[in-house]
Amino acid sequence: PMLTRSPMRRVGRNTGPSQNTRLALCERSGSWCEMRLSGCTGKATEAAHRIGRKAGGRHGEALTESNRLSNLIHSCSTCHRWTHDNPALAQDLGLMLREYQDPSLEPVAYQNAGWVVLDDEAGLWPVAA
């Protein structure tokens, strides 16, 4: 009889935020999309990374850094997709950052309500005009 191999299944690691971080993100956002871009569905369902996980690596300390609350924006899938489709505009709004930037220091356009700085304790601080 001829032996055939079954396809290998790739076992993915969860590289997203911890459950505690997700809870803090929901608390900060009230479960509403923090981007509120055109076409927004309102309900936040995704944790979008301002500095992409690939930019700083996915292991150890770099993974922990990428899942800091200041680096996460609670978003609907429509707004999250928009940031990836429009990276230059998303950077202008602080929704996406370059890997050398510190998300706890970089302002972000927040829910069409102005500019804020996000901290790592689920706080947000208005930025003077």
Q: What is the pLDDT of residues 94-103, one digit of tens each?
A: 999 999 999 9
Q: Which residues of the chain have pLDDT under 70?
A: 1-2, 5-14, 54-64, 129
Count of Cβ atoms closer than 10 Å to residue 63 Cβ = 15
Q: What is the pLDDT of residues 52-62, one digit of tens each?
A: 876 544 444 55
DSSP three-state, residue 99: coil
Instruction: Classify 39 in phi/psi space as left (phi over 0), alpha (psi -120 to 50) or beta.
Output: left
H or E element at residue 126: strand 124-126
Signed CA dihedral, 19, 24, 30, 32: sign only? negative
Q: What is the pLDDT of residue 58?
A: 46
CA 21 to CA 38: how far, in whole Å?
27
Q: What is the pLDDT of residue 112?
A: 82
DSSP 23-77: HHHHHHHTTB-SS--TT--SB--EEEESS-TTTS-SSHHHHHHHTSGGGEEEE-H
